[in-house]
């Protein structure tokens, strides 16, 4: 589906994005992996996630975090990037989206999860390979959200058992892609199928009460 170049403001910085509008009020914002590791909005996983949501009738917005591509500013170790995501969600809200899903990959997953812990009205999220060996997720702040956690069974940065533990704590959906590592090269379709299954189930199970771990 054709995307149009858009720009929006975050903390006085101009952020570059690609927006694909669709009829209706459902939108998805997709966030990219670590900027200092070459991550940007044209990453293969980001593009796979965008494709899934477009095919299911969502308007989509992917964007470059500050300091990446034509987005102004410099890398802010996840702090300012949360502000960039907040601005992206506001962009979709201003476009008339009332049901917004976040989908983040790797560093982008951490940013998306951090944004939700701020009391965001968004309550639906897909986290692909959050780097749990480097950064944990703030479990209490994510309770009450609906989510899907995805990783490959050969993902060093997001071990399967760590991902399953988080999924149990939050009563979220989970998917483990056999033979996939952190980068999903050649396994994009399997990732897309996992998200399709989650969407077909009604955008994931609602998070339940705290579980003992």
Per-residue pLDDT of the chain (213 residues; tens, 9 = 90+): 799 999 999 999 999 999 999 999 999 999 999 999 999 999 999 999 999 999 999 999 999 999 999 999 999 999 999 999 999 999 999 999 999 999 999 999 999 999 999 988 899 999 999 999 998 899 999 999 999 999 999 999 999 999 999 999 999 999 999 999 999 999 999 999 999 999 998 754 444 433 333
User: How far apart are alpha carbons 70 and 73 in whole angstroms?
Assistant: 9
In a domain, 8, yes or no: yes
User: What is residue 111's predicted lDDT score, i.e. its pLDDT?
Assistant: 98
Cα-Cα-Cα-Cα torsion 102, 170, 55, 105, nearest 10 degrees, comes to 50
In a domain, 184, yes or no: no
User: What is residue 203's predicted lDDT score, i.e. its pLDDT?
Assistant: 52
Residue 30 burial by Cβ neighbours in a 10 Å radius (0-12, 13-18, 19+): buried
In a domain, 209, yes or no: no
> How many domains does the chain contain in total?
1
In a domain, 76, yes or no: yes
Domain assignment of residue 77, given as a range: 4-144
Residue 41 is part of a domain; what is its CATH number?
3.40.50.1820
In a domain, 159, yes or no: no
In a domain, 51, yes or no: yes
In a domain, 160, yes or no: no
In a domain, 81, yes or no: yes
């Amino acid at each position: 589906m054709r995307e149009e170049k858009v720009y929006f403001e975050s903390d006085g910085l101009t952020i570059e994005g690609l927006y694909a509008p669709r009829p209706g009020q459902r939108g998805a914002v997709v966030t990219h992996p670590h900027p200092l590791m070459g991550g940007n909005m044209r990453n293969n996983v980001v593009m796979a996630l965008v494709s899934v949501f477009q095919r299911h009738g969502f308007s989509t917005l992917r964007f470059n975090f500050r300091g990446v591509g034509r987005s102004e500013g410099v890398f802010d170790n996840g702090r300012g990037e949360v502000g960039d995501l907040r601005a992206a969600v506001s962009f979709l809200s201003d476009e008339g989206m009332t049901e917004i899903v976040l989908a983040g990959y790797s560093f982008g997953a951490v940013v998306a999860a951090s944004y939700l812990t701020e009391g965001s009205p968004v309550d639906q999220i897909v986290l692909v390979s959050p780097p749990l060996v480097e950064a944990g997720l703030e479990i209490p702040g994510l309770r009450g959200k609906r989510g899907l956690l995805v990783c490959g069974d050969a993902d060093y940065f997001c071990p399967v058992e760590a991902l399953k533990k988080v999924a149990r704590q939050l009563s979220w959906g989970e998917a483990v892609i056999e033979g996939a590592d952190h980068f999903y090269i050649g396994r994009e379709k399997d990732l897309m199928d996992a998200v399709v299954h989650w969407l077909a189930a009604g955008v994931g199970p609602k998070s339940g009460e705290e579980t003992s771990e």
